[in-house]
Amino acid sequence: MKKILFAGAYELNYNRTHVIYKGLLEQGYKIEHINVPITSPLKRTRDLKKCFLKNTHSDFDIVFIPSFCHYEVPVIRKLTDKAIIFDPLISRYISKIYDFEKPGFLGWYAYANKRIDKLSFGFSDIILSDTITHGQCYSEFFKINPRKLKIIYVGYNDEDFFPVEKDCCEFKIGHYGNFQPLNGIETILKAATILKNMPIKFEFIGDNQAEFKRKANLIRPLEQTGTLTLLGKKPYNELYKYINNWDICLGIFGKTLKADIVIPNKVFHYAGCRRPIITAQTKAIKELFRDGESIALCEPTPEALASCVEKLYADSSLRNKIAHGAYEVVKNRCTYKTIGKQMADLIESL
C-alpha cells in the first residue's frame, strides 16, 4: 500500500479535505503532513520549501495537495519527483473573475489568477474535480488533458451529519453558508418576502456582515415580522441539529458560472440528514440528483423558489419522498468510506 504525504497550507477539518483524509485512513493508508500556516502566497510557499528541506519525507509515494493550495503546487513540483494529486476544488480565475466579478477579464488580476491556475494544473499528475461539469470547465478554460482529470464528488462524513427527530413544531426553512455570490442570497430573501404571510419561518446560519448590510432593505422587514432569523455562525458539530429542525433546506440560487458547475457541501449535509432540499436547476446537481425524486429543482428566481416552497409546504408526502431519495443517493455514493475507496483505487493505479 502506497504512503501519502498531504502538503500545502490547508485546513484539515475543511469538509472536502476531511472527507478524503478520513476516507483514506479508513482504507488503511499511512498519511504524513507538511501543513504550513495559511498566510500570503509568498510566505506560505517559502515556509513550505523550508519544511520540505528540513523534513525530507523520503518515505512517501504520492503527494496529495488539498483544496485551495494552488500556489503550493509549483513549489512542491520542484521539490519532489513523486506523483502529485491536486484537489483544487475551485479555479481561482473562475471564482475571482466570474463569481466575484472582479474588474478586468483581460487585466493583470485576471491574468495572475489564470496563470496560477494553469501552473498548478500543469504541474499536477492528477487533478481532482468535484463534478463532471466542473471537470469539463477546467478542460475548456485551461486546455487540460481529460485523462489527468478524475471525478470525486465532495461527499460528507456520515458520522457528523445524520437524521434525528425534529424537536420543534414550527415550519422552518433553512440555509447555511458564507453568502458568497453562488448562494444567491438575494433570491432567497425576495422569495421569503413573497411568502411572508405564510406560517413559515426562515433561518440563516453563517456570517457575512458586509453582505447583510448590502441586503439590509430586504432583511430588516423580514426580521421585524419574525419571518427571518439570522442565527450567525454555529459550531460545525452542531450544524446537524439545526438542519434536522428544518422542514425544507435551501441550496444555491446564484446566477454565476460557479453555481452551475458545483454541488456545494451543504447539499451533501442536508441529504445526509434526510431533509428535503430545494436548489437551482443546474448541470452539476443533475449528475447525482433527480428532480421530484431526490431533490426539488427550480429556476434561480424569487418567484420560482417561492412557488417551489409553496408546493412542498402543501405536500408532506412529496417532502418525505425527496428527503428519502436524497438520503439514499448520498448514503450509497458519497460517504467518506465510499470516497476513500475511490481515492484508494486512484492512488494504487498510479
The CA-atom distances, in angstroms, between 37 and each of 40, 42, 84, 120, 240 are 9, 12, 21, 19, 29
List, for residues 270-288, the tens digit of each pLDDT value.
999 999 999 999 999 999 9
Report the pLDDT value the prediction gives residue 55, as an integer from 0 to 100: 74
Neighbours of 276 (CB within 10 A): 24
Domain 4-155+335-349 and domain 172-333 have a common topology: yes
Whole-number Å distance between alpha carbons of 191 and 197 = 12
Q: Give me 230's grid cell.
A: 439570522
Report the pLDDT value the prediction gives residue 225, as an integer from 0 to 100: 94
Report the pLDDT value the prediction gives residue 143, as an integer from 0 to 100: 92
List, for residues 191-230, the tens digit of each pLDDT value.
999 999 999 999 999 988 788 888 999 999 999 999 999 9
Whole-number Å distance between alpha carbons of 128 and 148 = 8
Q: Which amino acid, residue 322?
A: I
Report the pLDDT value the prediction gives residue 105, as an integer from 0 to 100: 53
Neighbours of 326 (CB within 10 A): 28
Query: Is the pLDDT score of 103 beyond 70?
Result: no
- Give burial (CB, 10 Å; 0-12/13-18/19+) of 316: exposed
DSSP 83-116: EEEE--SS-HHIIIIIIS--S-TTSHHHHHHHHH
List, for residues 303-330, the tens digit of each pLDDT value.
999 999 999 999 999 999 999 999 999 9
In what side-by-side order are the strands of the sheet with 172-176?
A: 228-232, 201-205, 172-176, 248-250, 277-280, 296-298
DSSP 321-346: HHHHHHHHHHHHH-BHHHHHHHHHHH
List, for residues 104-163, the tens digit of each pLDDT value.
555 777 888 899 999 999 999 999 999 999 999 999 999 999 899 999 999 999 999 999
Query: Could you give the percent of the chain with pLDDT greater than 90?
Result: 85
CA 194, 197, 201, 205 dihedral sign is positive
CATH among 3.40.50.150, 3.40.50.2000, 1.20.120.640, 3.60.21.10 for 172-333: 3.40.50.2000
Whole-number Å distance between alpha carbons of 270 and 15 = 14
Query: Could you give the percent of the chain with pLDDT greater than 70?
Result: 97
Report the pLDDT value the prediction gives residue 181, as an integer from 0 to 100: 86
* Pairing of the two strands 172-176 and 149-151: unpaired
Query: Residue 181: which of 247, 76, 98 has the closest Cα?
Result: 98
Q: Which amino acid, residue 109?
A: Y
Which residues make beta-bridge pairs with 204? 175, 230
| 210 contact partners, CB below 8 Å, separation of at least 6 | none
Report the pLDDT value the prediction gives residue 131, as an integer from 0 to 100: 98
The angle that helices 302-314 and 316-333 make with each other, rounded to 10 degrees, is 100
Query: Is the pLDDT score of 67 beyond 80?
Result: yes
- Note the CATH architecture for domain 4-155+335-349: 3-Layer(aba) Sandwich (3.40)
Q: What is the mean pLDDT of residues 36-56?
A: 90
Report the pLDDT value the prediction gives residue 292, as an integer from 0 to 100: 98
Report the pLDDT value the prediction gives residue 106, as an integer from 0 to 100: 55
pLDDT confidence band for 94 (50 / 70 / 90): confident
Report the pLDDT value the prediction gives residue 44, as an integer from 0 to 100: 93
Report the pLDDT value the prediction gives residue 56, as an integer from 0 to 100: 61
Domain boundaries, the chain: 4-155+335-349, 172-333
List, for residues 328-339, the tens digit of each pLDDT value.
999 999 999 999
Report the pLDDT value the prediction gives residue 211, as an integer from 0 to 100: 82
Tell me the whole-structure pTM to 2 decimals.
0.95
Report the pLDDT value the prediction gives residue 99, as an integer from 0 to 100: 63
pLDDT confidence band for 79 (50 / 70 / 90): very high
